Structure 1
């Protein structure tokens, strides 16, 4: 499925997207206590980042810029990006094979108008990209109201970042924590209160 894609003439917009995405990723790492081997699911509408309706204005250059900014924060820490495709691919996930060695792989290659510009950028940049249908990520960034909740571990906890937007797209963030189970006599591991530490 081809479809029309768009280009950005004002390169200052790309620099703004890069700066916004970098700040959001840095805040998420700190607030969610993310570390090596953990997974962050990213839903991203490049249309929304440019003030257009979701799914109407796919911009490969914007997807690539946002990916590079996020990867620049996550990769040095050993954190994996799980790129959520758009609903044309049933919100499948594009991820490095290393992050999900035992996952069941499905056969699809995202394109800007069938998967989304961000997922396409990830597929092109990853060393060994694979597509999977399900994942339970440790945290997430939702850029433009793409609805990433289906790909987060239970229990998802909303995060209020100071970075509220990526470009013109609204930004929502979440971390996860283990469920508290039991009743009045239950004891809890206080180390798990703020999420999944690297040793879990």
Structure 2
């Protein structure tokens, strides 16, 4: 590593000489660069990586973005659709994929209690798999934290759709049936975002 650092310093010195006119033209610069082959290889690899990243970004085609973001209201219900958490969007392409992002403040309180939040489309679970997010409390900790979750929903038909967020006790354990759930403490900001992207795996 020490040798590499010295080589890098040498390349910088050569470039400085070119800029000051002390080296005569490109040929001298190329000879100086070839003399520091290890640094030249690193520069080449960086260039190749940048090209791959450009190709990757171009491959992700964003068709449309729709969002809503508000302050509150806080919703303390243990079951049902959350108040205000609603977003209507238009899906432009039949075979596109919907990326859904949701930010809010979540809390569960109780001894070994758990709540589940689910993002639903048109009142139903996403057809390619439920977008569910669970939170558990083991010892009445009453911790309220803001979190961001994302999910991908496929096989939605083209046209208008409405997203809502539902809350309820996490299934699978009788202890969870009377869990105390809370969403949007102190009217903190929540956000729902839909990004329609081209299907990269048609």
State the TM-score bracket (shorter-chain normalisation). Answer: under 0.3
Q: TM-score, normalised by structure 2?
A: 0.26
The structure with the greater share of residues assigned to strand is: 2
Bigger relative contact order, structure 1 or 2 (CA pairs below 8 A, ≥6 apart): 2
Q: TM-score, normalised by structure 1?
A: 0.26
For the pair shown, the structure with the greater C-alpha radius of gyration is: 2
